[in-house]
Amino acid sequence: MTSETLAQLSTQIDNVFFVLGALILLIEIAETLFKGSHKGRTFAEMLVSASTQIPSILVEVTILTAGYGAFFVLSDAFVPWVMPITWWSVALVVLAADIVYYWEHRIAHQVRLLWTQHAVHHSSRDYNIITGIRFGPLEGLWSLIAHLPLVFVGFPPQLIFFGLVVVLAYQTWIHTETIGRLGPLDRIFNTPSNHRVHHGSDDKYLDRNYGGILIVWDRLWGTFQAEEETPRYGLKRDFDSRNPLRVWFSELPGLMRDVKSAQTWGDVWGYLVKAPGWKPGHSPDRSE
């Protein structure tokens, strides 16, 4: 398999999930139009979710492009061998990228500095396909750093990017209430039912179901929760804005206030790298 073939396969997979997501979106729009009373709010929520792509794309074409180039430089300079691009290495890198995504995602929930970016994805009180493209401006930078170890394992950068694209593309279709539970598939894959739990702010649903493609990682590492009652979506704290700037930077004002009020450098460090809700002398209460 050549790099060109790999790029074509990546595009085809991305297109398949894009089309699937577009079909679900059309159904969601039709349902919203027939709902009546809340349709204005729902469409406004969709627009602000889509608006988060503006800063994300700006970061992607600048910082992330340079970062992708650095992957090739590091691979050439420090990795004495790389895997050939074959069907088995393609399958292996998707599995590896899915495991990396689980831990990248889990850490983003537990480190407040990273949460300032990932919280944007969780800040909507609605749950629909457009929620899937609601990202913090610098969220992609953490993803790039998290996938860096795969370079030193011996995966060629183009394979790593392929795995990353597949894991993200897969998640297009799971941000919906249109699809219910899927029986045995819910035990293996990250499905709409499993991911609705992840977006819930209810105590029982908080910080659960981090998986990208497979939900088995959550079962393996003790973070799985099945969907029971319908989740209350959004952040646990009272945040319900459709102002794009407030959504893009929703967590930064609170972090800056806490850092400014810190009495010691240890407190500053705690506010930056400990879990959301951490206070000096107290355990985190996840009050985001």
Q: Domain segments of the chain: what residues?
A: 3-250, 252-288
Give the pLDDT band of residue 286 (cuts 50, 70, 90): low
Contact by Cβ (8 Å): 25, 128: yes
Confidence (pLDDT) at 36:
61
H/E stretch holding 152: helix 149-153
Distance CA 238, CA 118 (A): 17
Contact by Cβ (8 Å): 269, 279: no
Q: Is the pLDDT of residue 287 over 50?
A: no
**pTM for the whole thing?**
0.90
Give the pLDDT band of residue 173 (cuts 50, 70, 90): very high
Mean pLDDT over 45-71 rounds to 83
Confidence (pLDDT) at 209:
97
Torsion (CA) 187, 188, 192, 195 in degrees, nearest 10: 90
Name the nearest CA neighbour of 145 among 87, 176, 103, 204: 103
pLDDT in tens, 89-137: 999 999 999 999 999 999 999 999 999 999 999 989 889 898 988 888 8
Report helix, strand and coil shares of the chain as percent, to nearest 5. 65, 0, 35
Name the nearest CA neighbour of 230 among 206, 202, 203, 191: 202
Give the pLDDT band of residue 64 (cuts 50, 70, 90): confident
Tell me the three state secondary structure of residue 282: strand
Confidence (pLDDT) at 29:
86
Confidence (pLDDT) at 39:
65
Q: What are the tokens at 243?
A: 């102002």
